A and B are shown apart, each in its own frame.
Chain A
């Protein structure tokens, strides 16, 4: 099959089906409604199930049930909806269940706005819900990459029995780009028979729970999870570098949509004789701390460019351990910075006017 021109939201939906997810539960919220609209037509074609639930609270708990039954299921939502799901994400993580949650981030806090934002960086990578847990978080910068990461998300969720979040924004969701599904790897099938609740026939009952009133087993559970996160941190960091060949003095750190804008700015700066590099984390958790340190050490300074008010920069600081000055440029409220703004910001740092 040739390439298809698809909206990010529809491509993500199709990618999930290709990953073997035939169950999708969701509640309407802009800017990701195309996913539900697409799947309401598509799921019947593949013998799947789309259910529009009564709330995001119900959605996330339905995913718990579906994961316990051993199938691949997922949801898509946007910032306020993710807030409502946070409790459930904590439970799903505590129960060591796989699921995939896409956050087409919109401007916040509160009802905010529906335009692109990265204001949920902290919510996605540092928790949102209660307790010691992480989502694995992947951030695509194009529709094709959204498709690839969506498929990877299901594999990682099953592999580590941990929920995976995709953090994108309305722009990735709404824009159309060519997508090639043929080149994608086949989904991995994981054996779940030793833990799913599919009826205790010829075996002892399986119990999926998160309550540990006794602190000793409670701590053991948490330590096992911590060990899982160490493995994830070791194996699953992903990132992209751009224009580092000429040893730029300045390295921009940015992810998702805004990283693309930065690339255009970097190209423009190059025409002015200013070399700037880009480090784009693709996995936001696990964050590529070591890799960023290796890149950042060779530069004189770093610039965190965000569609938020200084969230990614915290991880940049952690990576750099105070060794280099780290600057910040961000826009909020749904504004995507234009390449020119980033060019100006970089020029200021080089004392060029």
Chain B
């Protein structure tokens, strides 16, 4: 297996954490993994993104110019990264904040209202967890159980965040594969 995904959004949306939890989960499953952040001046405000590569054999290039999959949490991220995607990948769009579509018909665009889902769960900051759950639910690249363990490890000193975040991940995983949320575009085989 070889999977690459870029998480992108505003600074403060928990982009880095979402990617890190995915990477941790993959590591726990004995997979090879690399997590690469954006860094430097671009971290100040603006778009934050990180890339995660998960594979069963050693990972060569850690640099991914054309990501296979993206999870975009805000409009500038969709506009920036959707055109760079390889064909046939998954583009998970946070439809709560992104009114537009990618305009591409050779990718699988999944619209998941991450912020609305998080608000409905009474955990408005957990839109990133909803998105992470959604991506894992769609790709099955790691098990949801592994992600849950990663969450427990991450928040071991802040136990009160564990259950709400796990709930958001589970909800995202559940919704991402339902027909109401998933929008299939013509010409693309899911």
A–B interface present (Cβ within 8 A)? yes
What residues make up the interface of A, taking CB atoms closer than 8 Å to B?
2-3, 5, 30-31, 114-115, 170-171, 174-178, 257, 260-265, 267, 336, 338-340
A-B contact count (CB 8 A): 64
Question: Which of A2, A114, A176, A260 gathers the greatest number of chain B CB atoms within 10 Å?
Answer: A176
With contacts A5-B35, A114-B39, A171-B36 known, is A338 near B61, CB below 8 A?
yes
Known: A5-B23, A5-B24. A175 touches B35 (CB 8 A): yes
Please give the distance in Å from A288's CB to the nearest CB on chain B: 21
State the 3 A-B residue pairs at the shortest beta-carbon distance, nearest first.
A264-B60, A176-B35, A263-B60
Chain B residues whose C-beta falls within 8 Å of the C-beta of A340 in the assembled complex: 65
A3 touches B60 (CB 8 A): no
Q: Smallest Cβ distance from A183 to chain B, in angstroms?
A: 15
Which residues of B lie under 8 Å from residue A178 when comparing CB positions? Answer: 27, 32-33
- In the assembled complex, B34 has its CB within 8 A of some CB on chain A: yes
Q: Nearest Cβ distance between residue B153 and chain A, in whole angstroms?
A: 9
| B20 at the binding interface (Cβ < 8 Å) | yes
Contacts of B39 in A (CB 8 A): 30-31, 114, 170, 174
Residues on the A chain within 8 Å of B62, using CB: 171, 175, 257, 260-261
User: B63 an interface residue at 8 Å Cβ cutoff?
Assistant: yes
**Contact, CB under 8 Å: B35 / A263:** no
Known contacts A5-B27, A5-B33, A115-B40; A176/B61 CB under 8 A:
no
| CB of A333 to closest CB in B, whole Å | 13
Instruction: Name the A residues within 8 Å of B23 (CB-CB).
Output: 5, 176
Q: A5-B27, A114-B39, A114-B40 are in contact. Are A175 and B61 (CB under 8 A)?
A: no
Listed in ascending order, the chain B residues whose CB lies under 8 Å from chain A are 20, 23-24, 27-28, 32-37, 39-41, 59-63, 65
A sample of 12 inter-chain contacts (CB < 8 A) reads: A3-B27, A114-B40, A171-B62, A171-B63, A174-B36, A176-B35, A177-B33, A177-B35, A260-B59, A260-B62, A265-B61, A339-B60
Residue of A31, A175, A262, A263 contacting most chain B CB atoms (<10 Å): A175
> Shortest CB–CB separation between residue B16 and chain A, in angstroms?
10
Given contacts A5-B35, A170-B39, A177-B34, contact A260 B20 (CB under 8 A): no
Roughly how many angstroms separate A308 CA and B65 CA in the complex, as a whole number? 19
Q: How far is the CB of A149 from chain B (nearest CB, A)?
A: 17
Give the nearest-CB partner of B52 in chain A.
A176
Which one of B24, B36, B65 lies within 8 Å of A338 (CB-CB)? B65
Nearest-neighbour CB distance to chain A for B119, whole angstroms, equals: 30
| Residue among A3, A30, A178, A338 with most chain B CB within 10 A | A178
How far, in whole Å, are A265 and B33 apart by their CA atoms in the complex?
A: 19
Given contacts A171-B62, A171-B63, A260-B62, 20 further A-B pairs with CB under 8 A are A3-B27, A5-B33, A5-B35, A30-B40, A170-B39, A174-B36, A174-B39, A175-B37, A175-B62, A176-B20, A176-B35, A176-B36, A178-B33, A257-B62, A260-B60, A260-B61, A261-B63, A263-B61, A265-B60, A338-B65
Q: When chains A and B are docked, how far (Å) is the Cα of A211 from the Cα of B34?
A: 48
Q: How far is the CB of A296 from chain B (nearest CB, A)?
A: 22
A3 to B31, CA, bound (A): 11
- Write the nearest CB–CB distance from B167 to chain A, whole angstroms: 24
Residue of chain B at shortest CB distance from A143: B34
Give min CB distance, A113 to chain B, whole Å.
8
| A336 cross-chain contacts in B, Cβ below 8 A | 63
Whether A264 contacts B61 by the Cβ 8 Å rule is: yes
- B20 engages A5 (CB within 8 Å): yes
* Minimum C-beta distance from B32 to chain A (A): 8
CA distance A176 to B34 in the complex (A): 6
Which residues of the partner chain A approach B37 to less than 8 Å between Cβ atoms? 174-175
**Contacts of B28 on A, CB cut-off 8 Å?**
2
Cα A260 to Cα B32 in complex, Å, equals: 14
Rounded to whole angstroms, the CA-CA distance of A170 and B59 in the bound complex is 18
> For A174, what are the chain B residues with a Cβ–Cβ distance below 8 Å?
36-37, 39
A257 to B60 Cα, complex, angstroms: 9
Question: Given that A5-B23, A115-B40 are known contacts, is A261 also in contact with B61, CB under 8 Å in the complex?
Answer: yes
